[in-house]
Structure 1
Amino acid sequence: MSITVTTWSLEQTSAADLRPAAEPAGDVRIVRAEVPSPEFSRFLYTAVGGDIRWTDRLGLTHAQWVETLDRPGVETWVAYEKGTPAGYVELQAQDEGAVEIVYFGLIPAFRGRRIGGHLLSFGTARAWDLGDRWPGRTPTKRVWLHTCSKDGPHAMDNYLRRGFTLCDTKVEDEPEVETPGPWPGARV
């Protein structure tokens, strides 16, 4: 069985495009995961993407996770609420001054609490200065991401509110895949 999936690519072409969200109430901190950890990154990936059918990294080996995370220009930033991981944003510097927000999202229990807008604002701001932080990189000229119709219902609105604009749309049929979330039965 297949499902029709719409994928939207969005971008900012100037740091001035960013419209930051207000910081959420409470004890929310955003911290860089400075030591590439496949185990921690896979936990974040499945905890955030399990209920919205993220599957592209599920088949990666440990070595492939290490290779992905340990490249220059890749950064993972984690939002914590009262010491508990709430979500993350993964950035990847690319050629010609582009930075992709490769993954962004919140663990379901933390959605709807204004953490997402704050985390996206923070991650986008970091993307804009990523070229300056990595030796030999071109200064950032474009920050981009993609989202799709499988993502959460507030994802697109959050991106647009932060100042991203639509630059491409694709519609494709994909096989319907059941993802277990962080453990079997987590989607129940």
Structure 2
Amino acid sequence: MSITVTTWSLEQTSPADQRPASAPEGDVRVERAEVPSPEFSRFLYTAVGGDVLWTDRLGMTYAEWEKWLARPGVETWVAYDRGTPAGYVELEAQDGGSVEIVYFGLIPAFRGRRIGGHLLSYGAARAWDLGERRPELGPTRRVWLHTCSKDGPHAMDNYLRRGFRLFDTKTEEEPETVTPGPWPGAGL
């Protein structure tokens, strides 16, 4: 059986496009995971993406995770709520001054608490200043991402409110996937 999935690609083409969200109440902070850790990155990937059917990285080996995380211009920024990981944003510098927000999201227990807008704002700002922090990559000229109809119901609105603009839409049939986890029934 298959499902119809719509994928939207969005971008900012200037730092002036950014429309930051206000910081959430409480003790929420965002920090860069400076030590590449396949275990931690896979934890974030499955904890955030398990209920919205992120499956493309589930088959990656430890060595593949290591290689990905060690690439110049790949950064992981993690939101913490009172010391507990709440979500993350993963950046990848690409040719021509583009930086992709490859993954972004919150662990289900932290959704609906105004952390997502703050984390996305923070991640977009780090994408724009990536070239300043890593001069060998060159200046950032564009920040982009994609989201799809499998993502959470507030994802697209959050991207638009943060100043991203739609530049492409694709619709295709995909095989239906069982929610992979992080464990059966997570996020329900």
Q: How does the TM-score come out when normalised to structure 1?
A: 0.98
Which residue of structure 2 aligns with residue 24 of structure 1?
A: 24
What is the aligned residue count?
188
Distance 2:127 2:172 in 1: 29
Give the AA of the match of 2:138: T
1:126-173 deviations in Å (ceiling 9; x for gaps):
000101211321200000000000000000000000000000000000
Which residue of structure 2 aligns with residue 48 of structure 1?
A: 48
Aligned Cα root-mean-square deviation (Å): 0.8
Give aligned-pair identity as a percent: 80
Show structure 2 runs of 5+ residues with no match: none
Q: Secondary structure at the match of 1:85?
A: strand
| Contact kept in structure 2, 1:90 and 1:101, CA below 8 Å | yes
Distance 1:92 1:177 in 2: 27
Which residue of structure 2 aligns with residue 121 of structure 1?
A: 121
Q: Secondary structure at the match of 2:160?
A: helix
Equivalent residues in 2 for 1:87-102, closer than 5 Å = 87-102=87-102
**1:151 aligned onto 2:145:** no
1:63-113 deviations in Å (ceiling 9; x for gaps):
000011110100000000000000000000000100000000000000000
Which residue of structure 2 aligns with residue 66 of structure 1?
A: 66
Which residue of structure 2 aligns with residue 86 of structure 1?
A: 86
Q: Secondary structure at the match of 1:122?
A: helix
Give the AA of the match of 1:93: A
Q: Secondary structure at the match of 2:159?
A: helix
Q: Secondary structure at the match of 2:103?
A: strand
User: Shift of the alpha carbon at 1:187?
Assistant: 5.0
Distance 1:137 1:107 in 2: 31
Show structure 1 runs of 5+ residues with no match: none
Distance 1:3 1:142 in 2: 32
